[in-house]
Chain A
Amino acid sequence: MSVTPGDHPNGAVRTVLAEDGVLLREGLSGLLERFGFTVVEAVGDAAALEEAVRRHDPALVVTDIRMPPGFSDEGLRAAVRLRRERPGLAVVALSQYVEQSYAADLLDSGGGAGVGYLLKERVADVEEFAAQLGRVAAGGTVVDPEVVRQLLRRRRDPLERLSAREREVLAEIAEGHSNTAIALRMHLSEAAVGKHIGNILAKLDLPPDDGLNRRVMAVLAYLRSA
């Protein structure tokens, strides 16, 4: 299921990019354009990001978490503020390393719809990365597999009750894949995927719901509570 240049479903999503490393900023800019996103502005720090968003009113923000002046979590805080101001704004935060509390902060904003939290190095898989951005722009939720992996490694109730297969499905859900996509990726029937998801929701004491976003929200709710 690869997305090839020129044949993109991203429909010129207006995007503001924030990344302090010039090399990476330009690279990312090129990557986004190539996959059909329209980069309306690319900036180098959190203050400029907020300004640019107010100026351009984009649909998507892709931001580095650690940026000047403090090189702490300025990008993340700016993203959370922007989400509060503009509930419809989709945000993907890129981080050099996985940090549960960053993910939780971001997912808490705006009900978790249209949010992504990814390790920076995921940009290497350019097609997958572009697809993930697309899913977030469309209101989906994407959490880095590494976050899910750490979460699953906790070996705590109630995650401990999940079977190995159910954990795999949970990880797929967290990455924002649809039932169909999960079935394809795991070589299962869609019905089997649906059954696994039902089991997961039951074992996590979450009310069953058919909507894609509801399921993702369920996983994220657990992530936040962990």
Chain B
Amino acid sequence: MPDDRPRTLLQAMARPGYLLSPWPLRAVLYGITTPLSALLWGIPLGLLGTPWLMLAAVIADDAHSGSPGEIVFLVVFGALLLATAGPLVAVPGAALERLRVRLTDDRPFPTPHREPRRPGLAAWFATRYTEGATWRGLAVLVVTALLFLPITGAVGLLLVLGATMAGTPLLVFVYGDNVSLGPWEVSTLPEAWLPSLAGAAVLAVGAYIGGLAVAAQVELVRFMQRDRGEEALRAELTEVTRSRARLVDAFEAERRRIERDLHDGAQQRLVALSMQLGLARLDLPEGSPTRERIAEAQEQAKRALVELRELVHGIHPQVLTDRGLVAALPELADRCAVPTEVVVELDERPPAHTEATAYFAVAEALANTAKHSGAGSARVNARMEARTLVVEVADDGRGGARVAEGGGLTGLADRAAVADGRILLSSPPGGPTLLRLELPCP
């Protein structure tokens, strides 16, 4: 059975038992705390807003219209004051306002503030000063002081009037005679019943009017302090994008580390080993079985070296690190089975990760050309266009290339996307195929 207890003031007011429920009392509590809150936060806010208040006074004063310098100073000074000290008032103030909302509202009300990314005061300030929730909190305080306070005052007057009228019999009993209630003069207890009933009616109506007023205030606060999902999402997306870029960088660094470890370790040892085998062979008489066996071992070591060399080159080509695309792309073309013409027009070297992305994109594209296109020739061009590295790989093959799920091109598109770049592929059936890679170089 669903819990059908009212969770908000409005829901409670829609029920018949509203007047006898705790809800009017809760609304009264909210109303009583409104002036306290308005006073507590209104004073510091008023101080911060002094320059603007003075400005308003200057403008309103016809006789003494302020000089432009004076007006600019007041505007700027006021803005500075609010921008620097405003959040210090807004954050605790809005927190208290959210707490007050709970007096008349049982719905969950999560904080709209973001978690600071790192511990520490500096990170806390950085987060609070830059998020919208803080500044909307400031608006809540202003609205509380300027709008809620007068409304609460009006409703409060109505309720006091009702309570006084309802209490007429008591007044007569205590003070004896001649209690004056506006137009009415009441002097005896029987006479007092009529205003008392009228007062009860006023109180009842006041409970609804006040309830409505409080409910409206609560809704406004909830609206202004709601947790903006999309804002949090956007912040999260920025963070995800950054972490993705960091991952790619780390991946790239790891490749280099592996390449270097293999170069300094396994490769050196294999070279030394095959050299020792070569020397050992020299010491043995020509034609002896041991010499043959050592020659065989040496042959295997050599083959291992060739394989290792190819492997290391595929992980991260040293020539790319040393000399950049100008040297690395022609070398790629040399390794390609399809005759490839390379033109690299770069005055300076792009950042390392951009170079790596471009290099591996060309490697993948040329591998595809050799494997699938049946092309007779290919062309690679790298140049800068308005701070963007543009690399094009074209072939005269049969076309029909696609960016297949999980294929090499997909991985490259991902790599390009991390660098805010993109890969464009034009490959109509019958060819030709043109792959264009654009990588911004800030």
The interface of chain A, by Cβ under 8 A from chain B, is 4-5, 20-21, 23-24, 27-28, 30-31, 34, 66, 71-73, 96-97, 99-102, 119-121, 123-127, 150, 153-156
Contacts and interface: CB of A to CB of B under 8 A. Distances in A.
Contact of A99 (B263, B271, B278, B331): B331
A99 B334 CA distance: 11
Contacts of A20: 264
Q: Sorted from nearest, which 10 A-B pairs have the closest CB atoms?
A: A124-B274, A126-B278, A21-B268, A121-B305, A101-B327, A23-B272, A123-B275, A24-B272, A72-B322, A27-B272
A153 B282 contact: no
A42 to B, nearest CB: 14
B11 to A, nearest CB: 72
Given A24-B271, A126-B282, 4 more contacts: A21-B264, A97-B318, A124-B305, A154-B334
Contact of A31 (B275, B305, B318, B322): B275
Contacts of B277: 124
B323 interface: yes
A73 B306 CA distance: 21
B275 A126 contact: yes
Interface centre among A5, A23, A126 (most CB of B within 10 A): A126
Given A5-B282, A125-B278, A23 B298 contact: no
Contacts of B318: 66, 72, 96-97, 99
B381 interface: no
Contacts of A126: 275, 278-279, 281-282
Contact of A66 (B263, B301, B331): B263
Contacts of A153: 334
A72 B321 CA distance: 8
B330 A100 contact: yes
Contact of A96 (B272, B278, B312, B331): B312
Contacts, number: 92
B405 to A, nearest CB: 34
Contact of B322 (A73, A100, A156): A73
A62 to B, nearest CB: 13
A121 B268 contact: no
A31 B309 contact: no
A99 B327 CA distance: 9
Interface of B: 260, 263-264, 267-272, 274-279, 281-282, 298, 301-302, 305-306, 309, 312-313, 318-319, 321-323, 327, 330-331, 334-335, 339
A168 B226 CA distance: 80
Contacts of A125: 278
Given A5-B282, A71-B260, A101-B323, A96 B309 contact: yes
Contact of A150 (B275, B313, B334): B334
Contacts of A127: 278, 282
A102 to B, nearest CB: 8
Contacts of B309: 96-97, 119, 121
18 contacts: A23-B272, A24-B268, A24-B271, A24-B275, A28-B275, A34-B279, A71-B264, A73-B322, A73-B323, A97-B309, A99-B318, A100-B327, A100-B331, A101-B319, A123-B278, A125-B278, A126-B279, A126-B281
A37 to B, nearest CB: 14
Nearest to B305: A121
Nearest to B317: A97
Nearest to A76: B322
B312 A21 contact: no
Nearest to B281: A126
A124 B282 contact: no
Contacts of B302: 121, 124
A102 B327 CA distance: 10
Nearest to B309: A97
Nearest to A125: B278
Contacts of B321: 72
A204 B277 CA distance: 40
Contact of A123 (B274, B312, B319, B339): B274
B267 A96 contact: yes
Contacts of A119: 309
A34 B207 CA distance: 110
B263 A23 contact: no
Interface centre among A30, A66, A96 (most CB of B within 10 A): A96
